[in-house]
Amino acid sequence: MKLIMAIIKPFKLDEVREALTQLGIDGLTATEVKGYGRQKGHTEIYRGAEYAVSFLPKVKIEIVVKADMAERTVETIRQAAETGQIGDGKIFVIDVVSAMRIRTGETDADAL
């Protein structure tokens, strides 16, 4: 099993979710996060004063899939989240040792 963690622009969340649903992925976890990379933040004007915003709003998506689905899942996220602009995000793939569905006690791939 693989944990796929993607950091994307917030307005792309619905497109990514729809694309993953079409791929057959039934669930995901999405968290509002802040961060920066090469964008280095930006400046904004509030009540006439300019200030630097060091951390930009992003959404972190986490999905656990069977290992044979990982590559297709990553490519689906990449295509749905891409804008072609700096700050589109990153995708990480991490090995998952085990999983358990709390309600039923099912484990590993059955728990997904």
Select from 67, 68, 66, 59 the least CA-distant residue to 91.
Answer: 59
Cα-Cα-Cα-Cα dihedral sign, residues 65, 68, 72, 78: positive
| pLDDT for position 41 | 60
Report the predicted TM-score, pTM, of the whole model to 2 decimal places: 0.84
Tell me whether strands 56-65 and 49-53 are parallel, antiparallel or unpaired. Answer: unpaired
| pLDDT for position 44 | 61
Strand partners, 70: none
For residues 24-48, average pLDDT? 80
| pLDDT tens sequence across 99-112 | 999 999 999 989 88
Domains and CATH numbers, the chain: 2-110 (3.30.70.120)
- Please state, in angstroms and rounded to a whole number, the distance separating the CA atoms of residues 91 and 106: 28
